[in-house]
Amino acid sequence: MHKLKFAFSMIIACLLLAIGCKSQDHSRQKSFPKAHKNPPQIVSINITSEPATLDPRKVRALNDINVIKMLMEGLVRVNFEGHLVPGLAMNHTLSEDHKTYTFTFLKNFWSNGDPVTAHDVVYSWKKVVSPHFPSDNAASLYVLKNARLIREGKLPISMLGVRAVDDYTLIVELEKPTPYFLQLLSSPVFYPVHAQTDKENPHWAENASTFVSCGPFKLSEWKHSDFMEVVKHDGYWDAATVKLKKINMVMVASETGFNMYQNKELDWEGSPFSNIPLDAMESLSEKGELKTQSFLITSFIRTNTSKAPFSSLNFRKALALAMNRQDLIENIFGGRSAYASGLVPTSLGLRESEYFQDGNSAEAKKLLQQALHSGEISKKDLSNISLSFLSNDKNYRICQIIQEQWKRALDLDVKLEAIEAKVYFSKVSKQDFQLALGSWVADFRDPINFLEIFRTRDIGTNNTHWENHEYLTKLEKSYAVSDPEKRKLLLQECEHILIEEMPIIPVWHGNLFYVRNEKLKNVALSDTGIIDFKWAFIDKEL
């Protein structure tokens, strides 16, 4: 075995973007001190909506992931310089065949005073891959030995490649060498939960009084659909590094949050929790107040390929070609984003040219007529189409433009369906939709992280009913290819298959836009949309 240190460049982690807004009267919110007059080391932010879940094994929405980052700790963590640093594990060793990791734990404590142990990790990972546990991200654990077969009910849970030698030593066996395994460990689905609490109360993550955490902060107050408050966790192993005493979180619409920021009631507004009002972005940019950062996100429309008319490839392609993404980007982002013809963001260097011509309405009409004439679809199938989306102003305006483009190019009448976060993710997971605007944010900087979400139809991130044997074969083959160019070619072929069959309609690749109190320093914000306040502090000298 040879020793490895947590000192390498990161492939930044995170999971699926989605921002839901709950419109509320500001007068109902808890009153916070003005940001520039805050008591020492207290920060106030807007998370826009009630978390769908704060169970790290079940979390899906980016907002919820970012709240969990305050409360929980994985084996590793990504710091504000973008490097992997110790989390629960102070070091590890790796076997010569690169398939077995041995982690040594630091002394850390749960918010109820119990020590965090390797047994908590074993319990949590086994629960995630058990056949009936509701985790859309369970496939992330398929890198573990036997995890996939256990999830499919073909092997007992006892055969999962993870075991605790003692309270502070964890051995992990992988299916095959996985160069990005350490980066995966910074994702919430790999975080431990307090085993005893989870066994005794399956609903522990739903209220502040029962929530047990092990991260830099602990949950002190949670008034549902109104506000949350976290305070510094003195039992955290690295508590000496944590400077903030408290983080206040309101849940208001983006427009309200922006007004609160302007009134110095908030220290941060905009990405990754909310959206800067579109009509304010230009003036903020001119004044030099708008902060911009690259974002590894692709927005796309899922199609339910099991239902007519979306079972028709010609119809799916017609919808894709009828959209004018460049016009949409100019209208919504003032040209500050890029249109997408593929799934993988262009900054990851996979796509060398666009897969189709944007706004090709003539070809779109031909494809629609082919679908009708061949009997793939009927006019009746076109009479009741709906496009679902997470309820917020930005998504509504995006979908409204798409609705108008489809009407103009294809004479389609598409209904818009705005849905709150909990219901939206439930409907998507159950494939209870026709068209659904969604997105994917990179967990780490590699095209495989985007392509894996559609590997099979039953994977929790797919939700389109689509799968392709050739796609899966090439994806599997890429895992064993060490030559970068040969691997890139295989992944290019995968993306080509995906776009040729169009179970998703790509829309745009984006950026992060936000404003912040200039006194707030050392906030870790990555191009995967992860924000971490562990190292943050208010600079009282400014």
Query: What's residue 333's pLDDT?
Result: 83
pLDDT at residue 167 tops 80: yes
- Answer whether 35's CB lies under 8 Å from 44's CB: yes
**What amino acid occupies position 393?**
D
Q: Among 10-19, 304-313, 347-356, which stretch is predicted with the lowest mean pLDDT?
A: 10-19
The DSSP-derived string for 127-193 is: HHHSTT---TTGGGGGGBTTHHHHHTTSS-GGGSSEEEEETTEEEEEBSS--TTHHHHTTSGGG---
Query: What is the pLDDT confidence band of residue 37, given thresholds at 50, 70 and 90?
Result: low
Instruction: Name the DSSP letter for residue 353.
Output: S
Rounded Cα–Cα distance for residues 196 and 78 (Å): 28
Q: What is the pLDDT of residue 39?
A: 57
| Residue range 433-454: mean pLDDT, rounded | 92
Of 100, 86, 118, 144, nearest in space to 2 by CA: 100
Angle between helices 325-333 and 393-410 (to 10 degrees): 150
For residue 385, what are its two tokens? Answer: 């189409």
Q: Tell me: pLDDT of 308 over 80.
A: yes
Residue 12 has pLDDT above 90, yes or no: no
If one counts every other C-beta atom within 10 angstroms of the C-beta of residue 383, the result is 10
d(CA 223, CA 212): 17
Which residues, listed in sequence order, are joined to residue 512 by a DSSP beta bridge? 293
pLDDT bucket at 7, cuts 50 / 70 / 90? very low
Q: What is the mean pLDDT of residues 172-198?
A: 94
The pLDDT of 35-46, averaged and rounded, is 77
Place of tokens 């262009």: 346
For residue 202, cis peptide bond before it (omega within 30 degrees of 0): no
What is the DSSP secondary-structure string of 99-114? -EEEEEE---B-TTSP
User: Cα–chain-centroid distance for residue 185?
Assistant: 15
Contact indicator for 251, 231 with CB cutoff of 8 Å? no
| pLDDT value of position 34 | 52
Predicted local distance difference test score (pLDDT) of residue 125: 98
Mean residue pLDDT across the chain:
90
Give the pLDDT score at 432.
Answer: 95
Q: What is the largest distance, in Å, between two alpha-carbon atoms of the chain?
A: 72
Q: How high is the pLDDT of residue 335?
A: 78
Find the range with the poorest average confidence among 11-20, 161-170, 505-514: 11-20
The rounded distance, in Å, linking the Cα atoms of 385 and 379 is 11
Q: Please report how the helices 393-410 and 254-262 are oriented relative to each other, as an axis angle in degrees rounded to 10.
A: 140
Q: Tell me the C-alpha distance between 384 and 435, whole Å.
A: 12
Half-sphere CA count of 260, side-chain side, radius 13 A: 31
pLDDT digits (tens, 9 = 90+) for 55-100: 999 998 899 999 999 999 999 998 877 789 999 999 999 999 999 9
Contact assessment for residue 185 and residue 75, using Cβ atoms and an 8 Å cutoff:
yes
Give SS3 for 77.
Answer: strand
Give the gyration radius of the chain's Cα atoms.
23
User: Average of pLDDT values for 287-313?
Assistant: 94
Mean pLDDT of 322-338: 89
The C-alpha torsion from 195 through 197 and 200 to 206, rounded to 10°, is -120
For 286, other C-beta atoms within 10 Å of its C-beta total 9
Tell me which DSSP letter residue 428 carries.
Answer: H
Q: Model pTM greater than 0.85?
A: no
Close Cβ partners of 299 (under 8 Å, ≥ 6 residues apart): 340, 398, 437, 438, 439, 506, 507, 508, 509, 510
Q: Give the pLDDT confidence score for residue 540 in this predicted structure.
A: 83
pLDDT of residue 204: 98
Within 10 Å of residue 373's Cβ, how many Cβ atoms? 10
Joined tokens for residue 60:
């899906």
Q: How far apart are CA 3 and CA 1, in angstroms?
A: 7
Comparing 18-32, 233-247, 311-325, the range with the smallest average pLDDT is 18-32
SS3 310: coil
The pLDDT > 70 percentage for the chain reads 93
Element containing residue 230 per DSSP (H, E): strand 227-232
What is the 8-class DSSP label of residue 446?
S
Whether the pLDDT of residue 207 is over 50: the answer is yes
Cα-based distances in Å from 143 to 190, 215, 462: 12, 25, 18
Task: Summarize the confidence of residues 201-206 as an average pLDDT.
Answer: 96
488 token code pair: 């890139």
Q: Is the pLDDT of residue 440 over 70?
A: yes
**Cβ distance 506 to 302 under 8 Å?**
no
Domains and CATH numbers, the chain: 2-265+517-538 (3.40.190.10), 293-511 (3.10.105.10)
The yes-or-no verdict on residue 139 having pLDDT over 70 is: yes
**Sign of the torsion angle spanned by Cα atoms 193, 195, 197, 202:** positive
